[in-house]
Amino acid sequence: MDKKIFLCSICNINSGTCNEDCKFCSQSVRYKADIERFKQKPIDKIISEAKMARKTGALGFCLVTSDKGLTEKTLSFVCDVAKVLQKETPELRLIACNGTASLEQLLTLKEAGVKAYNHNLETSKEFYHNICTTHSWDERYETCQNVNKAGMVLISGGIFGLGETQEDRVSMLNSLKELNPTSVPINFYHHNDALELKPNPLTTDEGLELIKLTREVLSDAQRIMVAGGRELMFGDRQNEIFNYGANSIIVGNYLTTSGRVVSKDLEMLESLNLEVAKKV
C-alpha cells in the first residue's frame, strides 16, 4: 500500500434538493434539515474552490450533486464544469459523484475529462431497505459496474454507524471487493437532529477496527479513504487512522458539515512523518 497520503476535496455543486429518502442524509428535502440548499453553484465559485483545494495539497477534486442520479441538465453542467477545470486546474484529478448513472452518461463524463466516478454502496444489500426505500441497492451496484465498464476509476465505499450489524459490514465490504474499486471512501454517520436515524453508536476503537477490516478485505484497493464523520468519530485520535490502514482523507468541508481547517490536517501528517501524495 502506498503510504503517501492522498488528499481529496469535495465540492457540492448543488445541495439539498434531493427527493430520495436516504435516512442518513440531510440533503433529502423530506427531513427539512437546517442546511444550505441551492440548485447550482456558480462556476467561478467552483473554480476558486478547485484552486484553493490544489493550493492546500489536494490531488482529487470531486464534483458532487445531491439527487438520485444524473439528469440531462446536471450531466451537461458537470461536463461544462469539468472542461473549464481541466484548463484552470489541470493538476487535479476530476471526480464526479452524481448518483446513479448509465454507461452512456458515464462515457459522456469521461469524454468531458472526468477521470473517476464515486458511487457508494452505502451499506449491505441485506440492510439497505432500512435506510432507503426510494431506490434499490441493486441500482447502486449496477452504477458501479457501469463505471468499470466505462473504463473510469471507480471510487466506492459506504457508511458505518447506521444501525447495521457486523455481518452487514462484512457483506458490504465483500460486495465492494467484487467491484474492485481503486479507492474506498468510508464514512461514519454524522447525526443531524432533523433525521430520525439514531446517532452513530460506534466507539472510536470500533471505528479504527472498521478501517482495519476495510483494508484487510479490500486488500487490492490503492486507497482506503476516511471521509465524512472523521472528526466526530475519531476526535483527537485522528492520527491513529493511518496505523489502521487509511492512506487518504478528505480535506476541508464535507457536503453539509464542516471539516476542520486543512492546516490542522497538514500539521497532523507532518507530525506523523507522512508525506502528502503529489501525483495520482
Q: Where does this chain bind ligand SF4 (CB under 6 A)?
A: 18, 20, 22, 25, 27-28, 66, 68, 99
DSSP 11-67: EESSBS-B-S--TT-TTBGGG--S---BS---HHHHHHHHHHHHHTT--EEEEE--S
Q: Smallest gap, in angstroms, from Cβ of residue 67 to ligand SF4?
A: 6
Question: How many Cβ atoms are within 10 Å of 148's Cβ, its own excluded?
Answer: 17
Q: How far is the CB of 9 from ligand SF4 (least distance, A)?
A: 19
Q: What is the DSSP string of 158-219?
A: EEE-SS--HHHHHHHHHHHHHH--SEEEEEE----TT--SPPP---HHHHHHHHHHHHHHTT
Reference 34, options 160, 190, 194; nearest CA is 194
DSSP state of 221: -
| C-beta of 20 vs 265, nearer to ligand SF4 | 20
**Are the beta carbons of 100 and 68 closer than 8 angstroms?**
yes
- Of residues 20 and 49, the one with the C-beta less far from ligand SF4: 20
Q: Given the complex with ligand SF4, which of 26 and 89 has the nearer CB atom? A: 26
Give min distance, CB of 143 to ligand SF4, in A. 11
Nearer to ligand SF4 (CB atom), residue 66 or residue 118: 66
Nearest distance in Å: CB 65, ligand SF4: 8
Cβ distance to ligand SF4 smaller for residue 132 or 262: 132
Q: Smallest distance from the beta carbon of 173 to ligand SF4, in angstroms?
A: 19
Least distance from ligand SF4 to the Cβ atom of residue 25, Å: 3
Distance CA 210, CA 122 (A): 14
- DSSP-assigned letter for residue 275: P
Instruction: Of 172, 134, 140, give the one whose Cα is nearest residue 23.
Output: 134
Nearer to ligand SF4, 65 or 171 (CB): 65
